[in-house]
């Protein structure tokens, strides 16, 4: 029925736009996907090429994504992706890929839990992917916050509003969901998207986009954090 972008990232001198192919709209907050895939632009977004070899199954947990690039020392950056199924009622799983390999489907690794030392285990088998946040998450966004020195995750909790969590590592542990903007304050809200560039006071104040049904548009919000 349509293809909808879920998030984008700049990598290897190009732009990559992750999107989902929707084949059916169901009850509020529920829809079915054919697959998730990626489009690429090498001219600043003027033209796009579909990367049809890079796809995730429509009935899986990797339909809507939020990527974030992490570089340690001089090694190539890893790009972490927090992922949810189609709709707004699934939990969050995690995958990663080395930036130079972003176009290689078999280079993506899936968080499969922790070993006896508490270290993350990564698997090339998508069936081994573990849930890192067990909640009804819709349109999620994850960034690193320098003020809290924590990962921040925002998403729509259907029927309640936009919530925010903080995490110690990409795979957690993640704290409890805290109300960011409630449905009572802003009816018809969804898609609370952050960008690490838009902060003040060293990250104590964050800015985020929030979509509202009435009027049907995207609005700019800010929130102040406390340690």
Q: How far is CA 144 from CA 7, 138, 139, 165, in A?
A: 16, 19, 17, 12
Say which residue the tokens 């903080």 belong to. 166
Q: Which of 97, 126, 155 is the endpoint of a domain?
A: 126
- CA gyration radius for the chain? 17
Q: Do 119 and 179 reside in the same domain of the chain?
A: no
Q: Which of 126, 144, 178 is the endpoint of a domain?
A: 126
Nearest to 197 by CA among 189, 206, 185: 206
Q: 142 with 151: CB under 8 angstroms?
A: yes
Q: Do 9 and 85 reside in the same domain of the chain?
A: yes
Q: Do 88 and 161 reside in the same domain of the chain?
A: no
Q: Do 17 and 110 reside in the same domain of the chain?
A: yes
Q: Which of 106, 126, 146 is the endpoint of a domain?
A: 126
Q: Do 144 and 117 reside in the same domain of the chain?
A: no
Q: Do 121 and 32 reside in the same domain of the chain?
A: yes
pLDDT tens, per residue, the chain with 227 residues: 999 999 999 999 999 999 999 999 999 999 999 999 999 999 999 999 999 999 999 999 999 999 999 987 777 899 999 999 999 999 999 999 999 999 999 999 999 999 999 999 999 999 999 999 999 999 999 999 999 999 999 999 999 999 999 999 999 999 999 999 999 999 999 999 999 999 999 999 999 999 999 899 999 999 999 98
Tally of structural domains, the chain: 2
Q: Do 90 and 147 reside in the same domain of the chain?
A: no
Q: Do 218 and 153 reside in the same domain of the chain?
A: yes
Q: Do 83 and 172 reside in the same domain of the chain?
A: no
Q: Do 115 and 150 reside in the same domain of the chain?
A: no
Domain that holds residue 141: 130-227
d(CA 215, CA 170): 35
Q: Do 165 and 85 reside in the same domain of the chain?
A: no
């Amino acid at each position: 029925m349509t293809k909808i972008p879920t998030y984008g990232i700049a990598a290897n001198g190009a732009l990559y736009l992750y999107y989902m192919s929707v084949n059916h709209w169901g009850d509020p907050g529920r829809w079915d996907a054919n697959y998730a895939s990626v489009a690429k632009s090498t001219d600043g977004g003027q033209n796009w090429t579909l990367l049809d070899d890079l796809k995730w199954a429509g009935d899986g947990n990797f339909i809507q994504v939020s990527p974030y690039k992490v570089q340690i020392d001089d090694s190539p950056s890893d790009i972490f992706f927090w992922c949810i199924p189609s709709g707004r009622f699934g939990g969050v799983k995690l995958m990663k890929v080395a930036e130079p390999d972003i176009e290689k489907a078999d280079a993506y690794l899936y968080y499969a839990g922790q070993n006896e030392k508490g270290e993350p285990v990564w698997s090339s088998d998508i069936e081994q992917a573990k849930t890192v946040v067990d909640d009804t998450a819709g349109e999620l966004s994850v960034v690193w916050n320098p003020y809290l020195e924590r990962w921040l995750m925002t998403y729509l909790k259907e029927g309640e509003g936009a919530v925010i969590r903080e995490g110690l590592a990409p795979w957690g542990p993640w704290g409890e969901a805290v109300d960011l903007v409630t449905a009572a304050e802003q009816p018809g809200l969804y898609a609370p998207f952050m960008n690490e560039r838009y902060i003040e006071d060293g990250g104590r104040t964050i800015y985020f986009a929030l979509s509202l049904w009435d009027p049907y548009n995207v609005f700019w919000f800010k929130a102040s954090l406390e340690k």
